[in-house]
Amino acid sequence: MERLRLLGSLPGDLPKSPGAELVVYLASRPGWRGLEEVRAVVPSLARALEEVNRTRYRELLEARGQELRLLATSDVVEFWKAAFRDLDRVLSLYGELAPGLESPLPEFSAWLARERGELLWGLWGTAVGRASRLADLGREEEAAELLDGLRERFPLEPRTALDLADLYWRLHRPREVARVLSSVLDRLDPDTARRARLHLGRALLRSGEEERGVALLAELAREEPRAELALAELEALSGRAESALSRARRVAAWSRGRGEERLYHDALLAEGEALTRLGRAREAATGPLPRALGLEERSGFSPLTLALLAEAQALWGKGGARARELAEKAYRLAARGRDRYAASRALFAWHLASGDPDKLEAARRQAEHVGHEPWRRFLDRFALEQGGDPV
């Protein structure tokens, strides 16, 4: 069976328009295609068939009742067979579909633009899948290098850009999250754009671009509770714990009243952190943090929750041994789950419970790799106050 190359190149012997459009469409859509389907893309079908019959492609065209097919395959078909499974093959095949083909048919031009977008979606979906599997294996640097390299070679596709941003977040690279989302924000539908702006605001805070992040999240906070929590997290770590507490309690009340358990859980963590920063560790250790832990009984305890509770217990001055054991447990869980942020928080709580300066330095080393500038700066300030190395 003849193989046509349509990705990154175009056969030089295509029929005249609209025959060329018909050949490209059928080569991209293998098997029998109904005439109504074809006419939706190539309305002047009779004339297209006339043009095809003047060329060698008439031998490849077969009709059956109200159906047509092209007795040929193409690299487009091969691309979709490899998509989401074989990245190397996808990369070897990918190219712009039918480059240089300028059609006077608006229906075909619209289809061609959509199909080019779909191919880019397939490429990025395959790439994100490969990088995600690498991350699952603990090969985070390799995953990030793969994605960074592909971004230099190919434009982003809006739908997969959100998945790409989520993966960069998982890889502790908030700056890349912000860059990816900023580049596609104006091409998203309104609901998706709202969610992307929330993610962008959080990424800006995490990467240290607080002015931009705060401005964006403050605008969203009127309608989006998670924007409030992101601002509360920043404020608790930046000497504005009173404001953080107000925000956290506002979200907790809102989410509890609506049965939003996950949001309520996260608001309890934010409340506990704010109370701890305000010197009200006993209140944190006996109120919101144990309640958050109780919500985790079915799904398994979070190392971050355990670390925050251990920190509050250590600062309360009650149960030093218990706080140390809780911090150790939090650290083991974080290490097992490759959660660097939770590991850093657990090591800090361990330091508070034990007085071991090595645990503080370990927490700071972890913080260098978690993509959380507010937390890293908090630890640096804490170490400076303790008379340690500020760098």
3-state secondary structure of 103: coil
Determine the Cα–Cα distance for residues 32 and 46; give it in Å rounded to an integer: 17
Residue 159 pLDDT:
87
Residue 388 pLDDT:
57
Residue 123 pLDDT:
97
Question: For 359-365, which contacts have Cβ atoms below 8 Å and span 24 or more sequence positions?
Answer: 360/386, 360/388, 361/388
What does the domain layout of the chain look like in residue ranges? 2-120, 156-216, 221-300, 306-391
Query: Is residue 73 within a helix (H) or strand (E), and if so which, with residue range?
Result: strand 72-74
DSSP letter (8 states) at residue 43: S
114 Rama sector, left if φ>0, alpha if ψ -120 to 50, beta otherwise: alpha
Contact 49, 58 (CB under 8 A): no
Contact 188, 196 (CB under 8 A): yes
DSSP letter (8 states) at residue 33: E
Residue 351 pLDDT:
96
HEC sequence for 176-241: HHHHHHHHHHHHCCHHHHHHHHHHHHHHHHHCCCHHHHHHHHHHHCCCCHHHHHHHHHHHHHCCCH
* Strand 67-70 relative to strand 61-64, pairing: antiparallel
Determine the Cα–Cα distance for residues 246 and 250; give it in Å rounded to an integer: 6
Residues of the chain with pLDDT under 50: 391
Residue 289 pLDDT:
97
